[in-house]
Every structure is written in C-alpha cells, then in structure tokens.
Structure 1
Amino acid sequence: MGEVSPMSNNRLRWLKDLDIFLIFVIIAICCAGLLAISSATRSFDGGSQSFVIKQGVFMVAGLIAMIALIRTDYRFLIRYVEYGYWAVIVLLGVVFLFPAVAVETGAYGWIPLPGGFNLQPSEFFKIVFILMMAKYLANEQEDEHGNLPDPLRGYIILAAATILGIGLIVVEPDLGQTMMLMAVIGTAMFVHLPKKWFWSMFVTVSIVVALFFTATMAYPDQFLKGLDVLVDKGVLKEHQYGRFFSFIHPEEDLAGEGYQVYQAKVAIGSGMMFGKGLYQGSQTQGNWVPAQHTDFIFTAIGEELGFVGAVALIFLFFLMLYRIVMNGFAAKDRTGMYICAMVAGMFTFQIFENIGMSLQLMPMTGVTLPFISYGGSSILVNFILMGIVLNIGFRRRKLSFSNN
C-alpha cells in the first residue's frame, strides 16, 4: 500500500481535531434565531424580510470570520492584542460624537454606518478584553531571551486597561455590556485565584445576591425606599430606579418600563406546553412586547413554540457551553484555557440574564440572547469568539512533521 500523502494527513487532522459538533450546534441555534426574528418582525412595517436578510448576511460574515480564525493561531492574536484594544478604545470614544443616537436610543452606544447599519464598539471590546485578560493572567508570553514578564507589571497594565474600557462603557451608559464584562472578570478570577480566595469571594457574592432577592421578594417596599435614598443622593439615576421598580412591581408601572416585563410574561405564559405555532402568537404578531426581536426575543419563542421549544433551545445552549468548556480543558496552554473559560462564563451569564429578565427573574438590562437576538455587531462578535474557541481546540496537540 502507498504512503498517505501530507494533504490527506492534513484533512484527517481537520476532521479529528476540529470540534465539528460545536459548529453544528452553533448553526442550529442560528437557524432558530432566524425563525424567531422572522416571526417577531412579521408585523413590522415592511415585514420581516429585511430583518432576516440583514441578520443572514451578518451570520454568513460571522461564519467566514469564524473559519478564518480557526486557521489563525490564537497565540498570534494574543501577541498583538494591544493594537486591537486601542483601536476599540478609539471607537468607544467616537460614539460620543453622535448625540442623535443617544437621543433616539438613550445611550451613546452605536456609530451610524452607510446602508442603515450601526456599529456597536462595546460588543467588540469583549473580544479584546478577553484576550487581554488571558494574556496577562496566564503570563506565558516569553521575550526574546526566554524570560517571562513580571506578573505585577501585568496586573497593573490589566487593571488600567479594565478601568479605561469599562469606564467608557459605563459612561455611555450600557449596563448590559458592563454586567457581561463583570461576568468575564468573575470567571477569570475563578480560574486564576487560589481556591481559598476565590471561594471567599464566591461566598460573599452569593450572600449579596441572596440578600438582594430576599429583599426584593420579602420586603419589596422597604427595598424601594432604600433605593429612593440613593436616588436623592445622586448615587442612582431615575431610569435605573425605574428598572428596579418594574422588576419588583411590573403591574404597577404599565405606563412605563413595567409594561415590557408584564407583556413578556403574558406572551411566554400563553405559549403553555407546545406553543401557539410559528407566526400564530397573538402577543408576538400583535407586536405587544417592545424589543421582541432583540432583547426580548425569548418571548416570541416561548409563546409560539411553548415550553417544549424553549427547553429545546436551552438544551442547545447547554451543548454549546459544554463544548466550549471541553475545548478549554483540552487546550495545550493556560492562555487557551483562560480564553475558553471566560467565553463560557460570559455566554452563561448572557443566557441566564436574557431569559431571566423575560421571566421576571432578573432585572431588565440590554442583554441579547446569543446567536438568537437581532443585531449585526452582536452576531459577528459571537462568531469571532467561537472561532477563537475552535482554534484553541484545534491546536490542542503539538504539530508533528512525522509521517507516522
């Protein structure tokens, strides 16, 4: 028998080391997203065609970017991540040059582009932030003499980069993106800190979260009075107070932010076990839920596909998170492991927060559902992050030039 050609070996390696299953899961979630967007925007002026086409174009662009990143060594991205960081910082500053966007949306979060598109720099900051965290926490980048950098210097650089980037996003203001970046930091601490330190932090955060939900459920009025004091002192803004109020008493604020939460619960509850059928939901087709194609797209899925459809989507998300974590375990260095952990942590929070706010389990924030919600910047960033994760899994073994 003849020897196996190097080209055949390369194909076999692609098939063996590339996480094909994760790619199929991502594509399945994207298909569900296109169906949900098609239904959620059907009642809009002009119908759903333009929304589906735009989302489809960004999905194809994201898929191409993902494939390109699979073939690009992630250590190359780590080496030059500072250039990407400063480019995104500049874009985060540029958003303040468009006050008309702030008037329309309530935040300086987007840069208008030709063709009716918008660029959201805070989405792209998540990529460079995760890579920066991995680079300086893993501390594996040797200089030309083989020496590792000083960890303390790395921590100082990382702290300054974090304060500058997140500070600009807070000023926009964008609470949703800020919370996702906090989830990235929390996951990084879980991986990086000594276990005693992490569990001390975890117990502290858990107590704070438990106290928050206890206060909002058992003593809601007293909790709101405490927030009134923070508003009077200027610590909390009126619209932020409104989100807490609508979270606790949505039925009492139907003329304000409580309307969205209330209609979301009605839509999901009316879907019952098997849903009303695609394009058949009265709440969705009547456009009763604001932002039902972006932040509240889970309501369309819950109403028209019911409990079964919602659980099926959550199961796909579980498979996606599981494969991300497995790629992290298989990474050949700590840098790759850190990246996969932070991506998994960010997506986990994003999924939990988005679905939770639709069910009145979490306060309302501008957090999208990964690969489902309408939005070009969001879908591109998600594909780029998945491309980096797939790259890490693909390169888990050292290259061999042997014919055996």
Structure 2
Amino acid sequence: MENKKGFADRFDWTLAFIILLFLIISLFAISSAQTTGQYGPTNFVFKQLFWYGVGVIIISMTMFFEPEQYKKLSWVIYGIGVFLLFMLFILPGSLDIVAERNNAKSWFHLPFGIGSIQPAEFMKTFYILGLARLITKHNENHLMKTVKTDFILLGKIALVLIVPLAFILKQPDLGTALVFLAITIALIIVAGITWKIILPIFMGSIVTGGTLLYFALYQQDFLTNTFGFKGYQFARIYSWLDPYSYASDEGMHLITSLNAIGSGEIFGKGYGERIVYVPENHTDFIFAVIGEEYGFVGASIVVSLYFLLIFHLTKITLQLKDAYSTYVCAGIIAMITFHVFENIGMTIQLLPITGIPLPFISYGGSSLMGNMLAIGLVFSMKFHHRTYMFAKNEDD
C-alpha cells in the first residue's frame, strides 16, 4: 500500500525558499557591482533575472521525470555532454559559433544575441548522473564486496572521469576540472569503497600535491622542461602566496578583493557605498562586493545560508531510499560545496584563484542554469520519493 501525497505535501517548499533568498541576494549584489562603470550600459540585473526565470523552467521540466527515468537515460545524457565538449574541441575558434575568452575555448554562442553557453557547467551534472548509474549498477552486481571488486569500480570510475576531464583541461579550465575531481572523491567515499584502498590513494595524492607545490616554488625549470608547465601557471601560485609582489599583474585581483572585504569591517559600508575597485566583481568576485558593503555580518549571513542549503540537501539525501537517488544528491552536494568553498576561499587568500563562480549569486547564465538543473534533480528525487507502508505487490 503506497502512502499517497498531494503536490503541496511532496514539493520541497523549504528548498524553494532558500533559492528565492539566493535570488534576492544575487540581484542586490549584482545591482551594486555593475555601478562601478566598468561594464558600460549592460544591465546584468535584468539578465540575471532572465536566467533565473530560465532556471525555474529547467527545475519544472526536471521535476516532470522520475528518478528511474533519469537512471535509464543517464548514459545518454552523459554522452550528450561529452559530445558538446568534443565539438568545442574540434571546431575552430574562428567560427562564430565558438566563443573564446581569456584564451579558453569553452563557450558556444547562442543565436539572436542571447549570449553564450558553457557546456562544462552542464557536464558536471551529466557526469553525476552517469557516475551514480555506474556505482549503483556495480554495487547491484557485486553484493559481496571485496578489495578486487572495489578496484574494478575505481577503474570504471576513472574511465568515466577521464573523458570529460581531458576535454576540459584542453580548453583549458582548471577550476572546472577540480570540481569534477571533488565530485568523484565524494562519490567514491559514498560508494562504500574500502578505506584500505581510499586511504593510500588520498595519502598519495597529498604527497603528490605537496611535491608539485615544492617543485613549483623551487624547481620551476624541471616542471617546465619535463611536463611543459607555462609561466602563467606558476604566476598564479606565486600571486596567491605573495600577491603584493605581483600587484601589477596576477596579484591585483586578490589584493583588491582583500582590500574590499577588509574595508567592510563588521557591518559594512552600506548598499552602493563601495570604494575599492574589483575587476569582475559581478561574477567570480561577487563575494568581495558583499563583504565590503555588508561587512562581516552580511558575509556571515551568506555563508550561513549556504550551510543551510547544504544541510537541507544532506537531510533530503538521507531520507531517500534508493541508492541511485542517494548518489545523485551526494554528487550535487559535493559540487555545490566545492564551488562555495573554492570561490569564497579564493577571495580571502585561503585558496588560489581558479575562476569558479559563487553558486546562485554570481552573474552567469551557464553557471546558474547548470546549478538550477542540479537543484531540479534534487526536487525530482524528493518529489517522486515514495514511502511504502507495506511491500508493493506487482500484480496489483
């Protein structure tokens, strides 16, 4: 016997309210950011509101399908994402259909002057769907787990990861590549792979990362000659550790961000009362605007709202009964968490600058639509989640 519920009972009003709060914060922050004069007559508030409207449509369409349907279509959706990344790779940048920014070929031009779209933002969610399907199927086929079966699963995950990761690194887009790695690590842990395998891999990754950082700081010629690293890649590390020595170049963004957030002090300067000029403050550095205008209190409220979002998503995940939906929601939580941690971290010198936007607040059509697609999946998992009072009879 199935416990029937109406739309109002099944719809997640709390999650919808949280997204509404992010919309309000985003519009206020972008409205102030665009007054610096660096963007000309473009009104990003209206454009952001338009993309939010598109995002609501995406959520509505996503909720229409049940988790089981997404499970069946996972590889098709994953394949579509890979195909789009492949087209970016093979199409010449001289074509009008391909947009190139900051030496990265990552966007398609949309018709009718709407703007551009970044396939990698959607590929994150497509990848989560494919990876969740892979882990679910593997665990169903290997109910008795062993070290061997866990190694096989890791091999499968690596194959699914390497394809989109290679195209994204080729663009190049290191920030998005790190998001894929964060999603992968989270789902490896949730998948139940033994720590006998995970711990040595993680320790090896830490040692490798530390070794690369050492060579980047003290043995640059070795990395350049052996692995083909470029000078600007080293500059990003140096400007992160010592931005004031690179104030005229790579360190400028970080210095202005630190000055803006620091000058906000406890309560901020108030809406539109900014003094510090921060480039790209409506996109990747929107948190600097919030920190300067609303101070520590305003910034803390924004961070707390993200904690509330992640807590609520985690609560939903723990309520779900089927493994596939659980893995999908876990991947989405990892994606959003990494975005928030990296974006805020890079504005306060906690992490290197990678160009990752702040979810639901930074201006950007592709980023916002990609995140709304992910949230739409959570809405779908929650909306179509069923509770059975008794075992369901297939003959009924």
Work out whether the TM-score is over 0.5.
yes
Q: Provide Cα deviations, 1:188-228, integer angstroms capped at 9, x if missing partner.
A: 1111112443344445556667x589x78xxxxx8612334
Aligned to 2:336: 347
Aligned to 1:146: none
**Aligned AA for 1:25?**
I
Q: CA deviation at 1:52?
A: 1.0
Aligned to 2:132: 134
Aligned to 1:231: 224
Aligned to 2:145: none
**Unpaired runs of 5+ in structure 2?**
142-148
Secondary structure, aligned partner of 1:110? strand
Shifted more, 91-100 versus 243-252: the winner is 91-100
Matches within 5 A, 1:294-313: 294-313=283-302
Matches within 5 A, 1:91-170: 91-96=84-89, 97-99=91-93, 104-114=101-111, 115-139=113-137, 158-170=157-169
Q: Does 1:327 align with 2:316?
A: yes
**Aligned AA for 1:347?**
I
Secondary structure, aligned partner of 1:99? coil
Aligned to 1:219: none
Q: Does 1:187 align with 2:186?
A: yes
Q: Does 1:241 align with 2:234?
A: yes
Q: CA deviation at 1:108?
A: 0.8
Q: Give the whole-Å Cα distance in 1 for the aligned partners of 2:22 and 2:169.
A: 30
Aligned to 2:59: 66
Q: CA deviation at 1:154?
A: 7.3
Q: CA deviation at 1:245?
A: 1.1
Q: Give the whole-Å Cα distance in 1 for the aligned partners of 2:318 and 2:5.
A: 23
Q: Give the whole-Å Cα distance in 2 for the aligned partners of 1:198 and 1:151.
A: 10
Q: Give the whole-Å Cα distance in 2 for the aligned partners of 1:104 and 1:396.
A: 42
Q: CA deviation at 1:170?
A: 0.6
Q: Give the whole-Å Cα distance in 2 for the aligned partners of 1:379 and 1:345.
A: 16
Question: Are the counterparts in 2 of residues 298 and 358 from structure 1 also a CA contact under 8 Å?
Answer: yes
Q: Give the whole-Å Cα distance in 2 for the aligned partners of 1:169 and 1:397.
A: 38
**Aligned AA for 1:167?**
A
Q: Give the whole-Å Cα distance in 2 for the aligned partners of 1:373 and 1:383.
A: 13
CA gap of 1:151–1:55, structure 2 versus 1, over 3 A, is: same
Aligned to 1:5: none
Q: Give the whole-Å Cα distance in 2 for the aligned partners of 1:236 and 1:121.
A: 26
Secondary structure, aligned partner of 1:41? helix
Question: Are the counterparts in 2 of residues 191 and 338 from structure 1 also a CA contact under 8 Å?
Answer: yes
**Aligned AA for 2:323?**
R
Aligned to 1:381: 370
Q: Give the whole-Å Cα distance in 2 for the aligned partners of 1:141 and 1:229.
A: 43
Q: CA deviation at 1:360?
A: 0.7
**Unpaired runs of 5+ in structure 1?**
1-8, 144-149, 217-221
Q: Give the whole-Å Cα distance in 1 for the aligned partners of 2:156 and 2:201.
A: 23
CA gap of 1:48–1:277, structure 2 versus 1, over 3 A, is: farther
Q: CA deviation at 1:389?
A: 1.0
Secondary structure, aligned partner of 1:112? strand
Q: CA deviation at 1:298?
A: 0.7
Matches within 5 A, 1:215-294: 224-283=217-276, 288-294=277-283
CA gap of 1:77–1:166, structure 2 versus 1, over 3 A, is: same
Q: Give the whole-Å Cα distance in 1 for the aligned partners of 2:39 and 2:195.
A: 55
- RMSD over aligned CA atoms reads 2.9
**TM-score, normalised relative to structure 2:** 0.86
Q: Give the whole-Å Cα distance in 1 for the aligned partners of 2:187 and 2:156.
A: 16
Secondary structure, aligned partner of 2:43? helix
Aligned to 2:358: 369
Question: Are the counterparts in 1 of residues 121 and 367 from structure 2 also a CA contact under 8 Å?
Answer: yes
Q: Give the whole-Å Cα distance in 1 for the aligned partners of 2:136 and 2:240.
A: 39
Q: CA deviation at 1:344?
A: 0.7
CA gap of 1:153–1:269, structure 2 versus 1, over 3 A, is: closer
Question: Are the counterparts in 2 of residues 297 and 372 from structure 1 also a CA contact under 8 Å?
Answer: yes
Q: Does 1:394 align with 2:388?
A: no
Q: Give the whole-Å Cα distance in 2 for the aligned partners of 1:117 and 1:98.
A: 19
Secondary structure, aligned partner of 2:105? coil
Question: Are the counterparts in 1 of residues 267 and 298 from structure 2 also a CA contact under 8 Å?
Answer: yes
Q: Give the whole-Å Cα distance in 2 for the aligned partners of 1:280 and 1:155.
A: 52
